[in-house]
């Protein structure tokens, strides 16, 4: 459940489909069972497009700048001036909210983790969190959070249940939850001040 916890379950329905007709019927039934409700959709494509637009205007733009345009609440001043008049520090202005780069109920989302260290065995790192069974086998590593953009959409707009499901996926240094799984390709690390390709920056999310 996106953004929450399941505290109790009153009823469980098991649904299956194999033919195209059954799949279409299943999708309609899922919409009926879950409405009124919303589904969280991956909108990393919006983030990618906006980041590329920023790079076209400013080669020094970073992916964080694009992400903040979606997640931060921004206002800008509109000077109260006459035509051909130049504003100054004393010019009165109206403050207007800056719209997000795309329309929709867009929200920042955390989509996984990126490893920042090698793997360690449990006897190499002290004071590890262990399970109730005192797991002394599972390796560990240090990670940082991976962030992207999501959109809440009404379920009545969705046609395919498979496109609503987020799946766990890990490959190399990436531990992700995504709706569209693509092969991850590692690229050489670049310095912080150099623009990165979108694919390298957010790992195809």
Q: Is the pLDDT of residue 68 over 50?
A: yes
- Residue the block writes with tokens 């190499």: 124
Mean pLDDT, residues 173-201: 55
Query: Could you tell me the CA-to-CA distances from 194 to 57, 84, 100, 154, 173 in Å, in that order?
Result: 15, 39, 25, 39, 21
What band does 145 get if pLDDT is binned at 50, 70 and 90? very high
Query: Could you tell me the CA-to-CA distances from 46 to 7, 10, 21, 165 in Å, in that order?
Result: 33, 37, 32, 19
Query: Could you tell me the CA-to-CA distances from 49 to 44, 150, 160 in Å, in that order?
Result: 9, 14, 24
Rounded-to-integer distance, Cα 173 and Cα 143, Å: 9
The reported pTM is 0.66
Q: Between 138 and 186, name the one with better pLDDT.
A: 138
**Residue 36: is the preceding peptide bond cis (ω within 30°)?**
yes
Domains of the chain by residue range? 37-42+104-186+197-202
Q: Is the pLDDT of residue 203 over 60?
A: no
Which of 38-42, 111-115, 127-131 has the highest average model confidence (pLDDT)?
111-115
Q: What does pLDDT average to over the chain?
A: 79
DSSP structural state of residue 57: H
Q: Name which of 30-34, 116-120, 188-192 the model is least confident about.
A: 188-192
Q: Between 82 and 142, name the one with better pLDDT.
A: 142
Identify the helix (H) or strand (E) that includes residue 63: helix 63-71
């Amino acid at each position: 459940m996106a953004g929450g916890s399941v505290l109790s379950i009153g009823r469980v329905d098991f649904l299956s489909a194999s033919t195209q007709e059954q799949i279409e019927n299943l999708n309609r039934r899922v919409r009926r069972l879950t409405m009124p409700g919303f589904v969280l959709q991956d909108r990393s494509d919006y983030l990618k497009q906006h980041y590329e637009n920023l790079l076209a205007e400013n080669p020094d733009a970073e992916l964080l700048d694009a992400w903040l345009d979606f997640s931060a609440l921004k206002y800008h001043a509109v000077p109260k001036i006459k035509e051909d008049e130049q504003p100054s520090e004393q010019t009165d202005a109206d403050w207007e909210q800056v719209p997000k780069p795309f329309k929709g109920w867009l929200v920042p989302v955390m989509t996984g983790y990126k490893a920042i260290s090698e793997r360690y065995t449990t006897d190499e790192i002290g004071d590890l969190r262990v399970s109730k069974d005192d797991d002394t086998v599972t390796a560990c590593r240090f990670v940082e959070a991976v962030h992207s953009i999501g959109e809440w959409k009404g379920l009545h707009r969705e046609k395919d249940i498979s496109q609503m499901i987020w799946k766990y996926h890990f490959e190399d240094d990436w531990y992700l939850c995504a709706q569209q799984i693509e092969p991850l390709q590692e690229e050489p690390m670049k310095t912080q001040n150099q623009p990165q390709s979108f694919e390298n920056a957010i790992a195809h999310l």
